[in-house]
C-alpha cells in the first residue's frame, strides 16, 4: 500500500514538472560558429516549441529551405537586418512558411541568394507570419523574387526589397492573398514580364507608407502591377524613377478598383502611362504627378474608365499625346472628373498639353470644376484636345482662358464669374475667343 502511494506521489511530481517545463518559454541561441544552443538556424527552429524564441547572433549563415513554424519568434540579436545575413547560395528559397499562423514571427534578417520557382527569399503558402525589419536582397524566382505569398496574409513592416528579380513581381508577388504592407521600400527590382516592384493578383489590400524607387518591368507596372483585385488601396505611397512599357509607376487592370490618397508619382517613365495606367474607376485624392513621361500617351496617367481626381496636382509631365492625362472611352459612362485640381506646365509634342480625350469603344467625357489649366504646351490644344464625339464640361473661374482644340465639344461655365454658360463646338469657341 505504501509502495503504491509512493509511486503515485512520484508520478504526480513528474507530471507537474513536465507541465511546468512545457509552459516555460525558452530562448535558443544560434551563433555563426555553431557553438550556441543549436548548430544552425533550422536546428534551433526544429528544437523550439510554441512560445520559444530562436535568437540568432550577428554574422552570415549559409542555409536554405529554413522551415518556419507557428508559435516561434525568429529574430536576430540586434533586431536589425544588418545583423544577420542568411545566404541560400542559389540552392533554393531562404525561408519557407507553410501553414504558419500569426504567432510565427521573423525579424531582423537579410535574406539573399535565394533561387526558386516562387518566393526565393521567403515563400508563404496558407500562412500569416509577422515579418519586420527584414531585407530581401538579390533573390531570383519565376514569381516573387523576394517574397511570394499564396492564399496567405503576412504582415510586413519596415522591410526592404532590393535588387530582386522575377518574371512577375521582382520584389514581391501575392495571389489570392491579403497581406498587410506598411513602411516598406522596394528599390532596383526587376519584373521581366510584369511588376518590377510588386505583382498583385486577386489581392485586395491597402499599402501604407510604401516607397517604390528605380524598379523596372519589361512589360507593365514598373513599380506595381495590380490585377483583378476589387479593393486596392494606397495611402502615402511614393513612386519614383520606375520604368515599364505600360504604367511606369503603377498599372492596374481587370476589375482592379484603385483608391489612392496622398500618393506621389515622380520621374516615372513608360511608353504609355508614364506614372499610372488604369482602365476602371480609380479615385485619387491629394495626389501629385511630377515630371513623369511617356513616349506615346499619358505622361502622368492613362485612364480608360471613370477616374475621379480631387485636389490633385499634375505638373511638368510630358508625352506625345496627353502631356498629363490621356482619357479613353472604355464604357458608355466613361467620365473623368477633376475637382480642385491643378494641371500646369505639362507638355505634349503633338496633341493635348494637359488632357487628351479620345475614343476607344466609346467616347471619353471630362468634367472639371475649380480646376486650373496653366502654362501647358502642345502643338495643338495646349490645355486639351478632343476627338470627335468627346465632350468636356469646364467650370474653372480662376483661369483666364482655355485652349481646347479638336472635333469634340467643350462647354465652358463661368456662371460664378458672371458669364452665361454656352455649349460650344470648337468652331464656335474659336469665333468667340479669337
Residue 224 falls inside a structural domain: no
Residues 161, 264: one domain? no
Using CB atoms within 10 A of its CB, is residue 427 exposed (0-12), middle (13-18) or buried (19+)?
A: exposed
Domain assignment present for residue 233? The answer is: no
- The answer to whether residues 424 and 299 belong to one domain is yes
Residue with cell 524566382: 141
In whole angstroms, what is the distance from residue 384 CA to residue 368 CA? 12
Shared-domain flag, residues 291 and 163: no
Residue 25 burial (CB count, 10 A): 12
Say whether both 166 and 279 belong to one domain: no
Residues 32 and 181 grouped into a single domain: yes
Q: At which of 201, 219, 237 does a domain end?
A: 219
Q: What is the CATH number of the domain that holds 100?
A: 2.160.20
CA distances from 412 to 65, 130, 136 (A): 65, 54, 53
pTM: 0.90
Q: Which of 219, 240, 272 is the last residue of a domain?
A: 219
Question: Cβ neighbours of residue 6 under 8 Å, at least 6 residues apart?
Answer: none
One domain, residues 76 and 30: yes
Residue 401 has what pLDDT? 52
239 domain residue, yes or no: no
Residues 170 and 313 in one domain: no
Calpha distance 373→411 (Å, rounded): 15
Output the CA–CA distances (angstroms, integers) from residue 63 to 69, 133, 304, 344, 366, in the order listed. 16, 19, 47, 54, 57
For 424, the domain range is: 257-434
With contact defined as beta carbons under 8 Å apart, do 101 and 127 qualify? yes
Classify residue 5: in a domain, yes or no. no
**1 assigned to some structural domain:** no
| Per-residue model confidence (pLDDT) at position 402 | 60
129 to each of 22, 57, 111, 173, how far by Cα in Å?
A: 23, 21, 16, 16
Same domain, 101 and 212: yes
Same domain, 108 and 207: yes
213 and 113 housed in the same domain? yes
End position of a domain, from candidates 168, 200, 219:
219
190 and 323 housed in the same domain: no
Is residue 71 one of the residues assigned to a domain?
Answer: yes
Evaluate whether residue 164 is within a structural domain: yes
Give the pLDDT of residue 257.
87
Structurally, the chain folds into a number of domains equal to 2
Q: Does residue 17 lie in a domain region?
A: no
pLDDT tens track, the chain, 434 positions: 454 444 443 443 333 344 444 468 999 999 999 999 999 999 999 999 999 999 999 999 999 999 999 999 999 999 999 999 999 999 999 999 999 999 999 999 999 999 999 999 999 999 999 999 999 999 999 999 999 999 999 999 999 999 999 999 999 999 999 999 999 999 999 999 999 999 999 999 999 999 999 999 999 999 999 998 888 999 999 999 999 999 999 999 887 889 999 999 999 999 999 999 998 889 999 999 999 999 999 999 999 889 999 999 999 999 999 999 999 877 777 899 999 999 999 999 999 999 999 987 788 999 999 899 999 999 999 999 999 999 998 886 344 456 889 999 988 877 765 443 333 333 333 333 32
Indicate whether 215 and 262 sit together in one domain.
Answer: no
Amino acid at each position: 500500500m505504501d509502495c503504491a502511494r509512493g509511486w503515485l506521489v512520484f508520478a504526480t511530481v513528474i507530471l507537474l514538472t513536465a507541465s511546468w517545463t512545457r509552459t516555460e518559454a525558452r530562448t535558443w541561441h544560434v551563433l555563426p560558429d555553431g557553438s550556441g544552443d543549436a548548430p544552425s538556424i533550422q536546428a534551433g527552429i526544429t528544437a523550439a516549441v510554441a512560445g520559444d524564441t530562436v535568437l540568432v547572433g550577428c554574422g552570415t549563415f549559409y542555409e536554405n529551405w529554413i522551415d518556419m513554424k507557428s508559435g516561434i519568434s525568429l529574430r536576430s540579436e540586434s533586431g536589425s537586418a544588418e545583423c544577420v545575413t542568411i545566404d541560400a547560395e542559389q540552392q533554393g528559397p531562404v525561408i519557407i512558411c507553410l501553414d504558419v499562423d500569426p504567432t510565427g514571427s521573423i525579424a531582423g534578417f537579410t535574406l539573399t541568394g535565394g533561387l526558386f520557382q516562387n518566393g526565393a527569399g521567403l515563400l508563404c503558402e496558407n500562412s500569416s507570419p509577422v515579418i519586420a525589419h527584414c531585407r530581401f536582397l538579390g533573390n531570383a524566382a519565376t514569381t516573387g523574387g523576394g517574397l511570394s505569398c499564396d492564399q496567405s496574409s503576412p504582415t510586413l513592416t519596415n522591410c526592404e526589397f532590393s535588387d530582386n528579380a522575377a518574371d512577375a513581381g521582382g520584389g514581391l508577388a501575392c495571389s489570392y492573398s491579403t497581406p498587410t504592407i506598411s513602411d516598406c521600400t522596394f528599390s532596383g527590382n526587376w519584373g521581366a514580364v510584369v511588376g518590377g516592384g510588386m505583382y498583385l493578383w486577386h489581392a485586395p489590400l491597402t499599402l501604407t507608407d510604401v516607397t517604390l524607387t528605380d524598379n523596372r518591368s519589361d512589360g507593365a507596372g514598373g513599380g506595381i502591377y495590380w490585377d483583378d483585385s476589387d479593393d486596392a488601396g494606397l495611402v502615402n505611397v511614393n513612386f519614383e524613377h520606375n520604368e515599364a512599357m505600360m504604367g511606369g509607376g503603377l498599372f492596374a487592370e481587370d476589375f482592379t478598383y484603385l483608391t489612392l490618397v496622398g500618393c506621389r508619382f515622380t520621374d516615372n517613365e513608360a511608353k504609355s502611362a508614364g506614372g499610372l495606367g488604369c482602365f476602371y474607376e480609380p479615385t485619387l485624392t491629394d495626389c501629385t504627378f511630377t515630371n513623369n513621361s511617356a513616349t506615346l500617351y499619358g505622361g502622368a496617367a492613362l485612364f480608360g474608365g471613370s477616374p475621379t481626381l480631387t485636389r490633385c496636382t499634375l505638373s511638368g509631365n510630358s508625352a506625345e499625346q496627353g502631356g498629363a492625362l490621356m482619357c479613353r472611352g472604355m464604357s458608355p459612362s466613361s467620365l473623368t472628373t477633376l475637382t480642385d485640381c491643378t494641371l500646369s506646365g505639362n507638355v505634349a509634342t503633338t496633341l493635348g498639353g494637359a488632357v487628351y480625350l479620345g475614343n476607344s469603344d466609346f467616347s471619353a467625357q471630362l468634367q472639371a470644376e475649380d480646376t486650373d489649366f496653366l502654362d501647358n504646351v502642345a502643338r495643338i490644344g495646349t490645355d486639351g484636345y478632343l476627338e470627335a464625339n468627346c465632350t468636356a464640361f469646364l467650370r474653372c473661374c480662376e483661369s483666364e482662358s482655355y485652349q481646347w482644340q479638336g472635333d469634340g465639344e467643350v462647354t465652358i461655365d463661368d456662371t460664378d464669374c458672371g458669364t452665361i454658360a454656352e455649349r460650344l463646338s470648337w468652331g464656335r469657341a474659336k469665333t468667340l475667343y479669337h
